[in-house]
Amino acid sequence: MDFALSEEQTLIFDMAKSFGAEHIAPYAMDWEKAGTIPKDLWPKLAELGFGGLYVREESGGSGLSRLDATLVFEALAMACPAVGSFLSIHNMCGGMIDKFGSDETRAKWLPALCSMEKVFSYCLTEPGSGSDASALKTRAEKTNEGYKLNGTKAFISGGGYSDAYVTMVRTGADGPKGISTVVVEDGAAGLSFGALEDKMGWRAQPTAQVQFDDCNVPHDNLIGEEGHGFAYAMAGLDGGRLNIAASALGGAQNALDLTLQYMAERKAFGKPINQFQALQFKLAEFETQLQAARTFLRQAAWKLDTGAHDATKFCAMAKLMVTDVSFDVANGCLQMHGGYGYLADYGIEKIVRDLRVHQILEGTNEIMRLIISRQMIADAV
C-alpha cells in the first residue's frame, strides 16, 4: 500500500500553496475586513485549472480526481480557509453540472464556469430546512416559458455576489423525489438577496439569503431530469464534504506552522518555550492528529474516486473526523500563543473562527454520525 503522493500530485499541491502564499495570504485580513473577495482573483485561479477541477477535459475542466482536489483545497486553505472553501463550493457546482447535465447543459454552463468568468453558488439550505434538506419548500412551477420559482434559500455563500446559482427546487410532491435542480442566473427577474450575514468566521466570503419571487428561468436551465435533484445534491455533497474537510486541515496545518515559529521566538523563564516538555507533548499530539486526519481524508477521497460502495460513509467519516480534529488543533494552537493568540495580528484567532463553521456546513457533524451509523446498520443486515 503506497501512501506517497505522485510527482504530479506533489506539483498540484505545491502550485496551489505557492499561489495562496503570493495572491491570497497577504490580503486575507483586508478581505475579511471588507467582507468580500476581489472578483479578479478567480480568473487567476482558473488559469491554473482550479475553476473546474473535476470537470471533464472536453468540457474545459482539468479532469482531476477527488483526491487531487483535496490537495488543492488543503493548500489554498493554508492561506485563507474562507477563500479556499468558496472555491470548493464553485467546484461542487461544476461537478454536479458535468456529472448530471446533458451535452447541451454542459456546453451552456461549463466553459464560463471553468474559466471562472462566472462564479457559481450552491443553493440547498432554507430557513426551515437545514439538516432536513429534503423538506425544502422553494417551488418551481412549470410554465410554457420555463419554471417560475418562489421561496427562499438561507446561508448561501456568494449570495448577491455570484453570477449563477445551482438551486434545488420542488417541482413535485413532498419528499426527496419531488426535488429538481435548476440554474438561476444573476439578474433574473424576481431574484433578490437579503442583507449580508454578520458571521463569526468566513467573513471574507459574502453570505446572504437568496430569494425567489415569481422568478422565471428557461426550461433548459434544468440540470438532468425532473425529480432527481435531491440525489444530485447529495452526490455533490460527498465531494463537498471532502473539500471542506481538506480546507479545515489546511487551516489547522497553518495554525500549527505559525505556532512552531512563535514557540521558537517566544521566551519564558530564560529559554524559548519550545524547550518546555509539556508544550513539546502538545506539539506531538497536534502533529499526530493532523497526520492521522490527512491519511484518513485521502483514503475517503480514494473511495469516492474508485466508486466504492461505502464511499458516502467514508466521506461522512472524513468530514466528521477531520473538521473536529482541525478545529481542536487550531484552538489548541491559540492556547499555545497565550494572550497573543487572542490578538488578530497573530492570525490564529481568524483560523479558529474560520474553522468553526466547517463542523456545521455540508451537513452538520451530528448528521454525519447519522449517515455513518445508518450505513453500518444497513451493512450488518
Backbone φ and ψ of 147, nearest 5°: -125, 140
Q: Is 283 exposed, middle or buried (0-12, 13-18, 19+ CB in 10 A)?
A: middle
Separation between Cα atoms, residue 269 and residue 274, nearest integer Å: 12
Q: Which residues pair with 210 in a beta bridge?
A: 153, 193
Strand, helix or coil for residue 270: coil
Pairing, β 271-272 against β 267-268: antiparallel
Alpha helices in the chain (DSSP H): 7-23, 28-34, 41-47, 66-77, 81-100, 103-114, 229-265, 277-306, 311-336, 348-356, 365-380
The residues that are catalytic are 362
CB 196, CB 36: distance < 8 Å: no
Pairing, β 139-142 against β 179-185: unpaired
Q: Which DSSP state fits 328? A: H
The identity of residue 177, as a single letter, is K
Q: Which DSSP state fits 338? A: G
The long-range contacts involving 5-11, CB below 8 angstroms and separated by at least 24 positions, are 5/71, 9/67, 9/68, 9/71
Strand, helix or coil for residue 209: strand
